[in-house]
Amino acid sequence: MVPHLTTSLTGPLQELERLVLDRRPEIERWFREQWQEHLVPFYSSVDLRNSGFKLAPVDTNLFPGGFNNLNPDFLPLCVHAAMSAVQRVCPDARGFLIVPENHTRNLHYLQNVAVLKRIVEDAGYTVRIGSLIPDLQAPMEVQTSAGETVRLEPVRRQGDRVGVEGFDPCAVLLNNDLSAGIPSILRGIEQPVVPPVQAGWSTRRKSHHFHVYDRVADDFAKLVGIDPWFINPHFSQCGKVNFAEKEGEECLASNVEHVLAEVREKYAQYGITETPFAIVKADAGTYGMGIMTVKSADDVRNLNRKTRNKMAVIKEGQPVNEVIIQEGVYTFESVDGAVAEPVVYMIDQFVVGGFYRVHTGRGTDENLNSPGAQYAPLAFETDCHSPDCGGKPGDPPNRFYTYGVVARLAALAAAVEVEELVAAADAPEVQAANA
């Protein structure tokens, strides 16, 4: 089941795919060099948008929660990749503690936890699940959407180590994006935590990620000889916004205008006749919360109460004060007539699968990560490391290889971003402030 592109597939994207396929050895060599310099994230997922003329990452998740949506045929790829990933973290030991989100009613998310547990187990580790649910006193068994049982156990701390009753893991695998802040039970522990706690949304910013991505995309564009705009959405940011109090509206409006002007210029340059749009979203947000589509600066002036409320508060009740204004990338992909966007999953340096996020109630210029989204797990008919170079650009294996390349660029940006976050947290003035 491969979703067809409704775009006619002529013009720049085909050109991009042809270039990517032609330069595959150089590209893979370049990635190898990058992964020697930067620690690859344990895992990541990247939302891509393919407008036919542009293929770009729009969100990079360091705590991917959709392993249940992957094609089960590709789980062996996940296991092999996890063997590489865990070996970096715990070469000598054998126990892993997965710390998931606190959701106990999102049965699909719980199935994600079950699949993730199985992947790490199949990589040869004992795995227990340590929950941060407040007031959880004893182990709790919950049923997943697939009818499996997940056992959540309260995380316990002893000195500088964490674990669960009778289990002292060698490392902690976070599948919790720490939107509510870094929990004290995980601060200053001696076990490695992957991804590091600084990669959580209490410290991470989308704008930081895309600043780093600018550099990665520029380097890559130089390597293959393209305009980096074909793989990189413009963006801008506002640091002091309060939707509830109508503060920062002018900053928003002028930055929307700025981003749209840049996009208009590029559309003119390449003869693209679509209407430019931008996405306004919380700079620290996730779960598709706090996101709106705008087509002019006026769209962010005089927001109605409903929209302001929607934008003001996101996951875990965190207020939105920082906002990123990102060039909107149309998605011209569809699955069974519904608007779709690809999500690519990586473990270690490997693309391990992907799926389409499909939304019947949304347009090609809207965020699809919202209530009502469905997932098409079988969509990737081929893995992303095996292009058929004899085939035409646009054939599924080639399209998906290109998707894998762009997703890995975003993962590389995330690697540099996390290095910078960890370095900042280790700086003496920060340590003093946290003491």
Least distance CB 174 / a second copy (angstroms):
21
Classify residue 166 by burial, with Cβ atoms within 10 Å: 0-12, 13-18, 19+.
exposed
Half-sphere exposure of 328 (CA within 13 A, CB side): 27
Which range touches a second copy (CB under 8 A), out of 1-9, 84-92, 269-277, 287-295?
A: 84-92
Distance of CA 386 to the CA centre of its chain: 23
CA distance 161 to 60: 30
Q: Please give the size of the binding site for a second copy, defined by CB under 8 A.
A: 40
CA distance 293 to 311: 12
Q: Does 264 contact a second copy by CB under 8 A? A: no
Q: Does 27 contact a second copy by CB under 8 A? A: yes
Q: Does 26 contact a second copy by CB under 8 A? A: yes
Nearer to a second copy by Cβ, of 77 and 415: the residue is 77
Q: Does 81 contact a second copy by CB under 8 A? A: yes
Q: Does 87 contact a second copy by CB under 8 A? A: yes
Which range touches a second copy (CB under 8 A), out of 40-48, 118-126, 221-229, 280-288?
A: 118-126
Least distance CB 35 / a second copy (angstroms):
9
Half-sphere exposure of 206 (CA within 13 A, CB side): 31
Specify whether the backbone of 119 is left (phi greater than 0), alpha (psi in -120 to 50) or beta. Answer: alpha
Nearer to a second copy by Cβ, of 28 and 426: the residue is 28
SS3 call for 271: coil
> Alpha carbon of 139 to those of 41, 142, 152, 178: distances in Å?
30, 10, 6, 21
Q: Does 308 contact a second copy by CB under 8 A? A: no
Member of 20, 21, 31, 195 binding a second copy (CB under 8 A): 31
Member of 1, 4, 37, 124 binding a second copy (CB under 8 A): 124
Instruction: Pick the closest to residue 210 from 325, 366, 289 (CA basis).
Output: 325
Member of 8, 22, 32, 246 binding a second copy (CB under 8 A): 32
Helix (H) or strand (E) holding 95: strand 95-100
CA distance 149 to 311: 36
Nearer to a second copy by Cβ, of 4 and 29: the residue is 29
Q: Does 393 contact a second copy by CB under 8 A? A: no
Least distance CB 104 / a second copy (angstroms):
23
Member of 18, 80, 88, 308 binding a second copy (CB under 8 A): 80
Q: Does 123 contact a second copy by CB under 8 A? A: yes
Q: Does 73 contact a second copy by CB under 8 A? A: yes
Which range touches a second copy (CB under 8 A), out of 58-66, 123-131, 133-141, 356-364?
A: 123-131
- 216-236 core/surface letters (b: 16 or more CB in 10 A; e: else): bbeebbeebebebbbbbbbbb
Contact (CB, 8 A) for 22 and 176: no
Residues that bind a second copy (CB under 8 A): 24-29, 31-33, 36, 73-77, 79-81, 83-84, 87, 91-95, 118, 121-126, 349-350, 383, 385-387, 389
